[in-house]
């Protein structure tokens, strides 16, 4: 039996839909090679795909992005919106009297655009989301959609 990893859950979701890797890659807007890497290398789902592309992947495969990372399917309660993440970042910045650049350095990701427009978080990868959520005391899986969105990433700002 294959290890229970995000990559193995991705493969299982694709196989449940009956789609080929090529069809999924084209549907998300990834190269076939980039998609193949997501299935082949366990860490690629954390580092090599934006949250927006991850959401599109979930839509195509009919699985919530959080489920790919081991979260149980849930319909209880809304996901934590990106706007709350940004509110907490601004509170952290104010409490520490840190500049945007200092906060970005502390977290390890450039936050300038995110602090102006929470939807910019869709451009981050999972590693970036985890770093931001850790800094503001949020569980990163709670920020990922717990179910596929019917209207795409723009609804979770």
pLDDT in tens, 23-51: 999 999 999 999 999 999 989 999 999 99
pLDDT at 153: 47
Split at pLDDT 50, 70, 90, the class of 84 is very high
pLDDT of 78 higher than 90: no
Burial of 148 (0-12, 13-18, 19+ CB in 10 A): middle
Q: What is the DSSP letter of 101?
A: H
What is the arithmetic mean of pLDDT over 54-80?
81
Cα pseudo-dihedral 67, 40, 46, 108, rounded to 10:
170
How many angstroms separate the CA atoms of 154 and 157, rounded?
6
Q: Which domains does the chain have, with CATH numbers?
A: 6-68 (1.10.260.40), 82-148 (1.10.260)
pLDDT of 155 higher than 60: no
pLDDT at 97: 87
What is the arithmetic mean of pLDDT over 121-139?
95
Task: Mention every residue, 6+ apart, whose C-beta is less than 8 A from residue 49.
Answer: 30, 34, 38, 57, 125, 126
How many angstroms separate the CA atoms of 128 and 50, rounded?
9
Mean pLDDT over each residue of the chain, to the nearest integer:
88
How many angstroms separate the CA atoms of 37 and 43, rounded?
9
pLDDT at 46: 94
How many angstroms separate the CA atoms of 25 and 60, rounded?
10
Residue 44's nearest CA partner among 11, 22, 81, 85 is 11
pLDDT of 144 higher than 90: no
Split at pLDDT 50, 70, 90, the class of 151 is very low
Split at pLDDT 50, 70, 90, the class of 154 is very low
Residue 12's nearest CA partner among 55, 70, 75 is 70
Q: What is the DSSP letter of 98?
A: -
């Amino acid at each position: 039996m294959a290890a229970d990893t995000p990559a193995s859950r991705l493969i299982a979701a694709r196989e449940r839909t009956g789609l080929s890797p090529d069809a999924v890659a084209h549907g998300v807007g990834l190269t076939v090679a980039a998609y193949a890497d997501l299935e082949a290398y366990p860490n690629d789902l954390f580092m090599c795909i934006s949250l927006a592309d991850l959401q599109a992947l979930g839509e195509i495969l009919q699985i919530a992005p959080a489920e790919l990372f081991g979260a149980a399917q849930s319909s209880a309660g809304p996901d934590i919106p990106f706007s709350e993440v940004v509110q907490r970042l601004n509170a952290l910045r104010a409490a520490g009297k840190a500049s945007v650049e200092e906060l970005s350095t502390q977290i390890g990701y450039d936050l300038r655009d995110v602090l102006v427009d929470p939807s910019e978080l869709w451009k981050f990868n999972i590693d970036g989301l985890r770093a931001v959520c850790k800094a503001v005391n949020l569980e990163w899986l709670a920020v990922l959609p717990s179910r596929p969105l019917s209207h795409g990433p723009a609804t979770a700002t």
